[in-house]
Amino acid sequence: MEKFRIKEEKYESGNSKFFPQGYFEEQWKTLSYKSFGFNNNGLDWCKTLEEAQKFIESFRVSLANSVDKVIEEKIYEVS
């Protein structure tokens, strides 16, 4: 099961940045707009919590559509 979260960074200026993250390879990784092609705002982070939530939903749909499930596995010994 995939795990996702949104990290918020607040700055002294009063501004916030929101970073959608996924749990992969036993650690939290930021889902970069640039890396996954969902860059709607021209930035590599989200301006609002709602924007980060939409990013995660787009990522989930993309992940579900691109996953090819293993139906059979064979191992060939090589000498």
The pLDDT tens digits of the residues spanning 29-63 come to: 888 766 666 556 667 788 889 988 988 888 888 77
Which pair of structure tokens corresponds to residue 17?
Answer: 């940045």
Whether residue 67 is predicted with pLDDT greater than 70 in this model: the reply is: no
| Interatomic CA distance for residues 15 and 9, integer angstroms | 8
26: phi > 0 → left, psi -120 to 50 → alpha, else beta; which? left
What is residue 46's predicted lDDT score, i.e. its pLDDT? 85
